[in-house]
Amino acid sequence: MVTPTDRLNRYISRAAGVSRRTADEMIRKGRVTVGGKRELDPGLPFDPFRSEVRLDGNLVITVQEEKIYLLANKPDSVVTTMSDKEGRKTAASLVGELSSRVYPVGRLDYHTTGLLLFTNDGDLAYKLTHPRFGVEKTYVAKMKGVPTPGKLDVLRRGLPIEGVLTNPAKVTFLEAREGKAWVSIRIAEGRHHQVRKMFEAIGHRVMKLRRVAIGPQELENVEPGDWRYLTGKEVRDLFAYVEQKEREAAQAPKTRNGIAAATPRERKGPRQPKPEWKKPPKGPRPTDPSRPAKPRRRPAPAKKRPAG
């Protein structure tokens, strides 16, 4: 989409149908003018509605690309890529003819089912998937055995997975039947196999995993293996949610890699039980005869005044 503050390389790349790198080269070679002046900086922010851009002297106009937002209900045994060397069923097959225009937002494991968004809006896809924005994803996990409330609390507080503490998760016990349990878990991270590893860490192997929501978007009105366009309201709600996440990320302290820094609690790990400690009774401290008396602190010597 053309925005009031576009970047020159992005604009040229879209208009000329070339890669960003080729656009960079065209600009650096001096083939591009902005408002009549040769421009050599590919990252130049500019307003395409105010400045006239020319490539080799020819006026450059971009065609506004129609944005597409859709959701699919991924079945089991589908890879979330658009092609697969091993010949497995891919995400492309889920969206049929539209597969040349859209790509999946983020990934699901081969055996994870449920909500998968597709779009050609790179900006939205970036914000939905970059860990810096902390977009929440909700899953329903079916597992072997029935986890105790204490074990679910461990997930809520955060636990180390491969040496790195997970952020607190929102966990809701749903039901237990025939020695199996269903638990809903909402996380704002997307590490590889994260949900499966979290349950594994508390001693429960996930048998089935289904994603049921991304931010405000729920898996609704779509059968497994099928897809549908998001409604206007769903797109607006998704944008409002992402904008809110963007504001929060802008306020959070940053680290070098751009991911919001862990809070002091995240760095320290789960809260430890406090040691038993009672307030000592009021009055003078009882002296311990086995200890030598503590020397009193001498008053600090007065500072010498400079002579003069």
Name the minimum Å distance from CB 218 to ligand URA. Answer: 16
Task: Tell me the backbone φ, ψ of residue 79, rounded to 5 degrees.
Answer: -85, 145
Name the minimum Å distance from CB 123 to ligand URA. Answer: 23
Site for ligand URA contains 213 (CB under 6 A): no
The residue range among 46-54, 190-198, 247-255, 279-287 that interacts with ligand URA, by the rule CB under 6 A, is 190-198
| Whether 6 is catalytic | no
Cβ atoms of residues 42 and 23 within 8 Å: yes
Q: Which of 9, 13, 166, 194 is close enough to bind ligand URA by CB under 6 A?
A: 194
Total site size for ligand URA, rule CB under 6 A: 8
Beta strands in 102-168 (DSSP E): 103-104, 113-119, 137-144, 160-161, 164-165
Q: Which C-beta is closer to ligand URA: that of 26 or that of 78?
A: 78
Distance CA 209, CA 114 (A): 8
**Subset of 38-57 contacting ligand URA (CB under 6 A):** none
Site for ligand URA contains 195 (CB under 6 A): yes
Tell me the H-state helices in 190-256. Answer: 194-201, 232-251
Q: Which C-beta is closer to ligand URA: that of 13 or that of 194?
A: 194
- Which value, to the nearest 10 degrees, does the dihedral of the CA atoms of residues 147, 151, 157, 159 take? -100
Site for ligand URA contains 108 (CB under 6 A): yes
Helix (H, G, I), strand (E, B) or coil at 125: helix
Cβ atoms of residues 82 and 34 within 8 Å: no
**Subset of 233-252 contacting ligand URA (CB under 6 A):** none
Site for ligand URA contains 112 (CB under 6 A): yes
Helix (H, G, I), strand (E, B) or coil at 137: strand
The residue range among 95-103, 192-200, 247-255, 260-268 that interacts with ligand URA, by the rule CB under 6 A, is 192-200
Site for ligand URA contains 209 (CB under 6 A): yes
Name the minimum Å distance from CB 79 to ligand URA. Answer: 11
Element containing residue 227 per DSSP (H, E)? strand 227-229
Distance CA 112, CA 139 (A): 10
Exactly one of 41, 76, 84, 109 is catalytic; name it: 109
Name the minimum Å distance from CB 271 to ligand URA. Answer: 25
Residue in the structure block whose two tokens are 């790195």: 164
Q: Name the token pair of 2.
A: 């053309």
> Cα dihedral sign for 204, 205, 208, 211?
positive
Task: Tell me the backbone φ, ψ of residue 264, rounded to 5 degrees.
Answer: -55, -35
Q: Which of 193, 205, 247, 268 is close enough to bind ligand URA by CB under 6 A?
A: 193
| CB-nearest residue to ligand URA | 112
Cβ atoms of residues 135 and 126 within 8 Å: no
Going residue by residue from 136 to 175, which x/- string records binding to ligand URA, judged by CB under 6 A?
----------------------------------------
Q: What residues are labeled active site?
A: 109
Residues in touch with ligand URA (CB under 6 A): 108-109, 112, 193-196, 209
